[in-house]
Structure 1
């Protein structure tokens, strides 16, 4: 049965996630309040994308407690509850998840599918008021003139704007953005950041960020992940260059231990000849 969170948008307690014997996440406690702007930083493999998958209900933890928007995610949700959660959680991922053959307008209208069910959803026969809202969302991101252009004929920056317009259409309570400015030039990246924050005006925003210069545009709070654990959780003003250098510096002792363990496992399996 779902439980209600009194003050938080999400809460993680003693959460542990692993795959194939490798720790993906080990978080003692993490809370994010409604309306917060949080950036997640860390090296590749630090657990950033795993955290987003956990919060969106795609990955149940091995142990621990996960609560998101009043729902407990310690175990897979029934299909109806999972659908209800994903209506309230908007996502902008690296792959964008746009449908290439659909127009910009049609991709934005996908954001209304949580409100539209039955034959209208699978025939994409949207009510006039939803069509008007889709055009308003495209206008808000400066893409109304490209509304009828197929997604695969848009530039990278334009596709990312379509993804943001879809969020405006969806009106989620929590937005998860995984490197939303990947492969964009600095000008386009800054514009997408401003639009994303605008789309999150009434939502909490959690963004995986790889470019430190974008942190002031996206977040008031920064969480550093290292080897699946929280290395720091600080206000933006307290995150200086040294904090980031220390976060991204390889953990030599830990890496040596992992390499030794991996070598031992290969030896036991008779695979000594393979690196």
Structure 2
């Protein structure tokens, strides 16, 4: 049996005595598609930061792509992890002054070293690959257009084309359709799943109607804990009502966190 792509055991993330995330066990297999749902402040973005190495737990075991992330990785290992973990964020982090093609080529910087990476002088085969990625998302005709002149849906498709260039083993998507109309959202979901054909995909989802498009497994987070872990077909209206209903009696604190070295370093109030 192959090693899981993601494995969490007895994980606690806390700041100023407040528990942000408490997960007893979570495992994601290679090639699996998982959606994360939950209210604001449920711990969804905290979980993605944990899996990308931007945040370390107060205690517990975190393993991503065979690397242990319980403590900060050395710079070289962190760079290697970031090459293998692709991210698509709702903020659509493109370089506005660069063309669509140049933004897509940025996805290959993890594989290109030396002067070519410093000057963004990409080999002809990488340029051809980038054009192929743009063709895959239907935007080859916009290759020379500056990113800041594209629509929101087009920019998100460019981000997915860039992801294709990165050739990630794990893709983390944080509400990638949040600012898109329903038609554009469906297109982006389809392209994102295609981009993850050879990778594991974990997506924070704000619209429950998109769950069947994005995932074969849905994890509901409530107050930092896993409330359910089910196939999309079993996540009905009642489950979602219970998940999003305020629970005033569950304002948990972890008073030992402030006494643990490093428990507050670099941590903010994540949703």
Length-normalised TM-score, structure 1 = 0.90
1:257 Cα deviation from its structure 2 partner: 9.2
Equivalent position to 1:238, from 229, 234, 237: 234
* Residue pairs, 1:84-123, within 5 angstroms: 84-123=80-119
Q: CA deviation at 1:254?
A: 2.5
> Which of structure 1's runs of 4+ aligned residues deviate more than 6 A?
none
1:21 aligns with 2:17: yes
* Aligned equivalent of 2:36: 40
1:222 equivalent to 2:244? Answer: no
User: What pairs up with 1:3-14 in 2 under 5 angstroms?
Assistant: 6-14=2-10
Q: CA deviation at 1:206?
A: 0.2
Q: Which whole-Å CA distance do the structure 1 matches of 2:239 and 2:197 have between them?
A: 29
SS at match of 1:38: strand
The alpha carbon displacement at 1:81 in A equals 0.4
Structure 1 position 20, deviation (Å): 2.1
SS of the aligned residue for 2:5 comes to: strand
When residues 92 and 38 of structure 1 are mapped into structure 2, their CA distance, relative to the original with a 3 A threshold, is same
Partner of 1:187: 183
Q: Which runs of 5+ in 2 are unaligned?
A: 255-271
Q: Which moved more, 1:184-193 or 1:234-243?
A: 234-243
Q: Structure 1 unaligned runs (5+)?
A: 259-275
Give the match's secondary structure for 1:8.
coil
Partner of 2:172: 176
* Aligned equivalent of 1:149: 145
TM-score (norm 2): 0.91
Alpha-carbon distance between aligned partners in 1 of 2:252 and 2:114, rounded to the nearest angstrom: 55
Deviation of the 1:7 alpha carbon? 2.2
1:72 has 2:68 as partner = yes
Distance 2:250 2:104 in 1: 45
Write the distance in 2 (CA, Å) between the matches of 1:256 and 1:176. Answer: 27
In 1, are the aligned partners of 2:223 and 2:251 still within 8 Å (CA)? no
Q: 1:112 to 1:15 in 2, by over 3 A?
A: same
Superposed CA RMSD in Å reads 1.5
Equivalent position to 2:163, from 158, 164, 167 = 167
Match for 2:121 among 125, 133, 140? 125
CA positional deviation for 1:228: 0.6
Total equivalences in the alignment: 254
